[in-house]
Structure 1
Amino acid sequence: MAFAGFPAEAFAFYEGLEADNSRTYWTAHKDVYDTCVRGPMGELAAELAPLVRAEPKVFRPHRDVRFSKDKSPYKTHQGAFFEVSSGVGYYLHVDAGGLFTAAGFYAHSREQTARFRAAVDAPATGVELEKIVRTLTRHGFEPGGDRVKTRPRGCPPDHPRLTLMRHEALTAGRRHAAGPELEGRTSFDLVRTDWRRLRPLVDWVETNVGPFDLT
């Protein structure tokens, strides 16, 4: 079945889940989750996969609470990740507020971070990444990803790209507010457009950072 959008009930479902993150609420509204959230997300993922040449991973709705102080049993969003290389790829999720799109490298190894910082430090590749991030920012994307609070060991305080050097991983994402635009086919176009704009970032990471292990 072709993706037709996320119905208004999907956003209302997550509003309710944020207010009552309990098994009682989940059980009473599971049919809404299956029909209005999980179903459309699966349809959207199937259509997006050929565009990025990556198989989607649609995440489970249950939280892993084993090592968390927050014992809320359910995630308050439904996400999907399209991995093009180890920890590198495209992401989206739907929640009470609307739709979030992003891309970059997420899970990272020490070797990946070292390669990333070496590429940021080098004038040619570092300036190229600066331009990519600047362009994305103009289009409403916000840089994200794990980063150190001060600066990496050995990095001078006056480094011209200190903000990027702080990153251990780098992503960029933007939000689209819930409303009629997301309730129809237009939401597919929004994701496709965002991911096209994010492709230079993904390409830069694939070229200059690479997967967990290059051997």
Structure 2
Amino acid sequence: MVQPSTLKFLKSLRSNNNKAWFDDHKEAYQAAKTDFESVVQQIIDGLAKQDPSLGGLQVKDAVFRIYKDVRFSKDKTPYKVHMAAAFQPGGKKAMSAGYYVHLEPGGNSMAGGGIWMPPAAELKKVRQEIDYNFDEFEKIISNKEFIRRFGKIEGEALKSAPQGYSADNPAIAYLKLKSLVVSHSFSDDLCTQPSLVKEILKTYATMQPFIKFLNRSFE
């Protein structure tokens, strides 16, 4: 579970996204960071049992910094108004499909996963895996529990079929995608309940065949 004070800090940060306020509330930030990292460690411990490839993952390799890189952004506010972590072999910067958790007050928290905007060479491999094994892929994403928890796969799509594929390919809706991700949202109330980590791990368990299929592209 996340402490209510952590959500309170993030909510206040949204209204006071500037260095002066942040510096004045450094202790509250450190407490929120420690709290979130404790949850991340619990997730890692549970995930390692579900997916042995994540057994050696460290908290520092999973958690994203709260400081934004504003060099190429129109929004120059210096801090993210959420806390997040990614769980994948090799850490959050590795080029593979993985699991993700996002903590943001206002009903914006969620557990998700997949592969986000991979480089062209990696995306080509994912498309090939889907094309060659579409029956298996379709079975995974049409599973009743998968649909109940995630709905459909999300991601920005090309306007036309990618090079090498015809518009009437049975898998074309997925072959057009530049990212393949799914997510399941959590209420602020659930985030502060002892059952939070259990619910996140349940979400990841439902997602695991999808993640494994995507990562097979890189074997």
Q: TM-score, normalised by structure 1?
A: 0.84
Aligned to 2:183: 173
- In structure 2, C-alpha distance between the alignment counterparts of 1:134 and 1:150, rounded to whole Å: 24
Query: How many aligned residue pairs are there?
Result: 202
Higher relative contact order (CA 8 A, sep 6+): 1
1:1-215 superposed matches below 5 A: 5-35=1-31, 37-50=32-45, 51-52=47-48, 53-54=54-55, 55=57, 56=59, 57-84=62-89, 86-98=95-107, 99-106=109-116, 108-122=118-132, 125-135=133-143, 136-179=146-189, 181-207=190-216, 209-210=217-218
1:174-213 C-alpha deviation (Å, 9 max, x unpaired): 110111x221321111111111111111111122x11xxx
Question: RMSD across aligned C-alpha pairs, in angstroms?
Answer: 2.0
1:156-181 C-alpha deviation (Å, 9 max, x unpaired): 222222211112331211110111x2
1:85-137 C-alpha deviation (Å, 9 max, x unpaired): 63321110101134211121225232221111112222xx2122122223322
Amino acid in structure 1 at the alignment position of 2:10: Y
Q: Is the 8 A contact 1:87 1:107 kept in 2?
A: no
Q: Is the 8 A contact 1:90 1:195 kept in 2?
A: yes
- In structure 2, C-alpha distance between the alignment counterparts of 1:151 and 1:77, rounded to whole Å: 35
Task: Give the 3 Å change call, closer, same or farther, for CA 72–47 of structure 1 in structure 2.
Answer: same
Q: TM-score, normalised by structure 2?
A: 0.82
- In structure 1, C-alpha distance between the alignment counterparts of 2:157 and 2:123, rounded to whole Å: 10
- In structure 2, C-alpha distance between the alignment counterparts of 1:196 and 1:205, rounded to whole Å: 15
Task: Name the SS of the counterpart of 1:45 in structure 2.
Answer: helix
Structure holding more strand per residue: 1
Give unmatched runs, 5+ long, in structure 2.
49-53
1:127-153 C-alpha deviation (Å, 9 max, x unpaired): 221222233222235523453233312
Task: Name the SS of the counterpart of 2:150 in structure 1.
Answer: coil
